[in-house]
Each structure stands twice: as structure tokens, then as C-alpha cells.
């Protein structure tokens, strides 16, 4: 994922705001392909996507709570 994130940043920097829609379209296609591959032949890519997004949201919330606790002392 870090490599994809880095590649996206480079593409956006090169293409600028005008090309951002193109980059997003390509990324959406790549994400759909990866989800289908990871879900397997009998899996549900949408369920996998939901699970991944919820896990990431939970992680961000935990990280924010930790940061808030640190800031409060």
C-alpha cells in the first residue's frame, strides 16, 4: 500500500489538478481488481471492501484517541 500511495502522490504531482480525475479513475480500477483477487473466486469483494474500510476507520479512531490523550497530558 505504501508503494501505491507513493505512486499516487507522484502521479498527482505530475498531472496536477487537471489530471487528478484520471488518476482517481485508474486507482478505482486497481482497487476493484485487487479486491476481486483478494476476495477469491467465491468471495464478495464488496464485503471485503467494507471490512477493510471499517478496520481502517477503527484504527484511525484509536490513533486519534491516543494522540488526544497524549496532548491532554
Q: For 14-63, write each residue's pLDDT tens digit.
A: 766 666 777 777 777 888 888 889 899 899 988 988 898 899 999 999 99
Q: Is 5's pLDDT higher than 80?
A: no
Q: What is the pLDDT of residue 28?
A: 79
Cα–Cα distance between 18 and 8 in angstroms, integer? Answer: 14
Q: What is the pLDDT of residue 1?
A: 59
Q: What is the pLDDT of residue 4?
A: 67
Q: Are 10 and 3 in contact (CB under 8 A)?
A: no
Q: What is the pLDDT of residue 16?
A: 65
Domain layout of the chain by residue ranges: 2-72
Long-range contacts: 4-11, Cβ < 8 Å, 24+? 4/30
Amino acid at each position: 500500500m505504501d508503494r501505491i500511495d507513493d505512486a499516487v502522490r507522484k502521479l498527482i504531482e505530475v498531472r496536477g489538478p487537471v489530471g487528478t480525475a484520471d488518476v482517481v479513475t485508474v486507482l478505482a480500477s486497481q482497487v476493484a481488481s485487487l479486491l476481486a483477487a483478494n476476495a477469491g473466486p467465491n468471495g464478495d469483494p464488496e464485503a471485503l471492501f467494507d471490512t477493510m474500510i471499517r478496520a481502517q476507520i477503527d484504527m484511525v479512531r484509536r490513533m486519534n484517541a491516543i494522540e488526544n490523550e497524549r496532548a491532554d497530558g
